[in-house]
C-alpha cells in the first residue's frame, strides 16, 4: 500500500489570494508552503483510490501522471473536498464513489452529470476496495451533521485519516482508530487559537498520542503556519507529494 498526500492545504490553499504573509511568500517562490487543496491517493497492487477530490485535482493528477482511478471516497460535503471530481469530465465516466448517504445526496446533486456509480456506506461498516479494507468512522466537523474519518487496512498495516474534524471524536471511532501505523490528521492552524471546525496542531498531536499512532503527519494546513521549513522544526507538517509506503 502506498499513500500520497496530493494536497495538504485548507479550503483556500497556500498562497491565499491577496496575502503576503511569510508562508504565502514562501509558497509564491516555490517553497513547500505551497499547498494545493486536500486529497489523498491510496494505491494498492489492485488499483487506485482517492480520498476526497480537491478543487485542484486536475493539476494533482497531471503531476502524478494519473489518468484513471478505481474509486473515490468522500469524507464530507464541503466543496474543497469534492469539487474537483468534475475534472474527470471526458476522461473517465462511471467512477465508483463511496460515502455516507447524506454526503452523497448533497455531492451528487451537483456532480450527477459525471454519472458516477454510487455506493452508500454505513458508519463502522467495513468494505473492500482495490483489495484494501476500508471503514468510515464518525468524526465531528460542525456545523455539518455528518463527517467521516477513514480507516484503511492492508494486512497488518493500518492508516487512519481523520478527515476534517475537531478533537471531539466519538469513543467508538477512537477505539477503531487506535494504534495506526500512520495517522493523517487535520490540523488547520498552530496552537495559538482554538477553532470550532478543526483541530489545531497541538490538538492533533494530542490525538496522535491518545491513539498511540506510530507515525503522524499533519495536513489540511492553512497559511497561518510559519513557512514550512520553519514549521517542521516543531510540527510534523505534511507537504504536497509526500509519500508513505507499507
What is the Cα–Cα distance from 191 to 111, expressed in whole angstroms? 36
Backbone angles phi, psi at 203, to 5 degrees: -65, -40
What is the Cα–Cα distance from 73 to 78, expressed in whole angstroms? 13
What is the Cα–Cα distance from 230 to 208, expressed in whole angstroms? 21
Indicate the pLDDT class of residue 89, thresholds 50, 70 and 90.
Answer: confident
With beta carbons less than 8 A apart as the criterion, state whether 122 and 97 touch: no
| pLDDT tens by residue, 95-137 | 999 999 999 999 999 998 889 999 999 999 999 999 999 999 9
Choose the weakest-confidence range: 39-43, 50-54, 88-92.
88-92
Dihedral of the alpha carbons of 13, 18, 21, 23, in degrees to the nearest 10: 30
Indicate the pLDDT class of residue 196, thresholds 50, 70 and 90.
Answer: confident
**Domain boundaries along the sequence of the chain:** 2-245
With beta carbons less than 8 A apart as the criterion, state whether 165 and 188 touch: no
**pLDDT over threshold 80, residue 193:** no
Cell of 237: 507538517
CATH code, 2-245 = 3.60.15.10
**pLDDT over threshold 90, residue 192:** no
| pLDDT tens by residue, 209-223 | 999 999 999 999 999
**pLDDT over threshold 80, residue 194:** no
Strand 216-219 with 182-186, pairing: parallel
What is the Cα–Cα distance from 218 to 230, expressed in whole angstroms? 15
CA distances (Å), origin 10, targets 15, 79, 80, 186:
11, 11, 8, 9
Average pLDDT estimate for 13-40: 98
CB-count burial class (<10 Å; 0-12, 13-18, 19+) for 125: exposed
What is the Cα–Cα distance from 193 to 201, expressed in whole angstroms? 10
What is the Cα–Cα distance from 78 to 170, expressed in whole angstroms? 21
Q: What is the pTM (predicted TM-score) of this model?
A: 0.96
Share of the chain above pLDDT 90, in %: 93
| pLDDT tens by residue, 136-174 | 999 999 999 999 999 999 999 999 999 999 999 999 999
Amino acid at each position: 500500500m502506498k499513500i500520497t498526500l496530493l494536497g495538504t492545504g485548507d479550503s483556500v490553499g497556500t498562497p491565499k489570494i491577496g496575502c503576503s504573509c511569510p508562508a504565502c511568500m514562501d509558497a509564491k517562490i516555490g517553497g513547500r508552503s505551497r499547498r494545493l487543496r486536500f486529497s489523498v491517493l491510496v494505491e494498492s497492487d489492485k488499483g487506485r483510490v482517492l480520498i476526497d477530490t480537491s478543487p485542484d485535482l486536475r493539476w494533482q493528477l497531471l503531476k502524478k501522471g494519473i489518468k484513471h482511478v478505481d474509486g473515490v471516497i468522500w469524507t464530507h460535503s464541503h466543496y474543497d473536498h469534492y469539487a474537483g471530481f468534475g475534472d474527470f469530465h471526458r476522461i473517465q465516466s462511471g467512477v465508483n464513489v463511496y460515502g455516507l448517504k447524506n454526503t452523497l445526496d448533497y455531492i451528487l446533486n451537483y456532480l450527477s452529470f459525471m454519472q458516477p456509480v454510487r455506493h452508500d456506506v454505513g458508519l463502522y461498516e467495513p468494505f473492500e476496495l482495490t483489495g484494501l479494507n476500508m471503514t468510515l468512522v464518525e468524526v465531528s466537523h460542525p456545523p455539518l451533521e455528518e463527517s467521516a474519518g477513514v480507516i484503511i487496512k492492508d494486512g497488518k498495516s493500518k492508516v487512519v485519516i481523520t478527515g476534517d474534524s475537531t478533537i471531539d471524536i466519538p469513543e467508538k471511532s477512537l477505539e477503531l482508530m487506535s494504534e495506526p501505523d500512520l495517522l493523517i490528521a487535520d490540523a488547520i492552524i498552530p496552537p495559538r487559537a482554538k477553532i470550532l471546525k478543526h483541530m489545531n496542531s497541538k490538538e492533533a498531536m494530542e490525538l496522535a498520542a491518545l491513539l498511540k499512532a506510530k507515525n503522524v503527519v499533519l495536513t489540511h494546513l492553512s497559511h497561518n503556519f510559519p513557512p514550512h521549513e520553519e514549521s517542521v522544526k516543531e510540527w510534523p507538517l505534511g507537504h504536497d507529494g509526500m509519500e508513505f509506503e507499507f
